[in-house]
Structure 1
Amino acid sequence: MKIIAISGGSGSGKTTAAKQLQQFLGNDDCKILSQDNYYHDHSDKFSGDGSVNFDHPDAIDFHLMAQHLKLLSENKAVEVPIYDFVTHTRKKETIPFKPTKFIIVDGILILSQEILRPHFDFAIFIDIAEETRYSRRLKRDVEERGRHPEGVKIQFDSFVKPMHEMFVQPSRVFATHIAYDNNSLANLFEDLKKDFF
C-alpha cells in the first residue's frame, strides 16, 4: 500500500487533483480519504457569519485521522466520520473504508500535522495564487454549502488567509513534490506512476 498526501491552500484544487490521480491510478485500486470528514462537531458555535475557524488545526480530529491511517496501513478497515457542512454536525452514520493499493489523503492542513506525516509515502503540495483560491472557495461555499457571499468573505479574511500563512503555506516544506498548475500536476502523476508500477 502507498499513501499519498495532496495538500495546498483552500481552493487550490486539491480535491480535483485527488480525483484525477485516483482515475490515473485506477478507481478499483485507489480511494480518497478527505480531511473534511474529520471536523469536530461545530453546531453549537456556528452562526452562519463565518465565526468558526475551520482552517485552524484544532477544528479537526487529527488524532482519529492518524489512527485510521495506521489501521489502513495495517490492512484493516475503518469507519470514516461524515461531517455535514450545512448543519455543522458530525453525523451518526459513518462510511466503511477498506484498504486499497493506493490511498490519497486530501486536506489543507495534513502536511502541517506531525502526527500524520509519517504515514505518507509521497506528499504533493499545490501552490496556487491567493486570488484564484478565493474565487474558487467563494463559488464552492455559496453553491455547495449554502453560505452567504458576505460570510464567505469574512471567513476568508478573518480565518482562511491568516491560517494559510500560519499553517498551510509553511507545510509546503514537507512535500515531496510541488505543483503550480495542471501541467505540472500531470507530470507529477507520470512520475508517481513510474515509481508505483
Structure 2
Amino acid sequence: MNETRMPTASIYAALALVLALPFAAVRADDDRDEIDARRTPPPAVYIDECGGCHAPYPASGLPAASWRTLMSTLDRHFGSDATLAPAETAVVRDWLLANAGRRAANPSAPLRITRTAWFVHEHDEVPASIWRSREIGSAANCGGCHRGADRGAFSERDVRMPRVATPPSSAGAKR
C-alpha cells in the first residue's frame, strides 16, 4: 500500500497554526475595541472639512444614531454652522454610518465622543489637570496627546501627554 506521509515539520507547523488561532482571534477583538479609523479610511472631505475645526474623530467613536443626529444638525453644530454641500454631506454621512461604533448602542445616543462610556474608560487615568492644561484645554482636543489625531489615527502607541506642573503642596504653607 502506498501511503503519503506528511513531513514532521509540516505537522508541527500545522499544529502551531491551530494553537495560535484562538490568540489571533483575541488580538483581532482587541484591535476592534481600540477606537480608530482602520475600518475604512476617512474620506478627504471629512479630514478637510471636519478636521478643519477639530480632530477628525473616528467614526467608531459613536453609534450610527449619534452620527445621524449630528449630520442632520450641521447648521447648529455645537454653536457653529458646519453646513456642507449636499454631495459632501452624503459622502461624510455615508462613511460615518458605515464605520459607526458597533458596541451596544447607548440609548441616549451621545453627541460627544468624550461622553461615551468607552472614552471615559480609556481616559480614566488622565488627571483633570491635563484636561485643563494650556496645552490641551479640554478632552475634545485629541491632537493634544494623540500625535496622529489630525489623520484620524488614535493609537495608544503614539500618545504623548504634556507635563503639567503640579501646584506646590499646602502642607507647609504659612497661614
TM-score (norm 1): 0.25
1 or 2, which has the higher strand percentage? 1
Query: Computing the radius of gyration over CA atoms, which structure comes out larger, 1 or 2?
Result: 2
TM-score (norm 2): 0.27
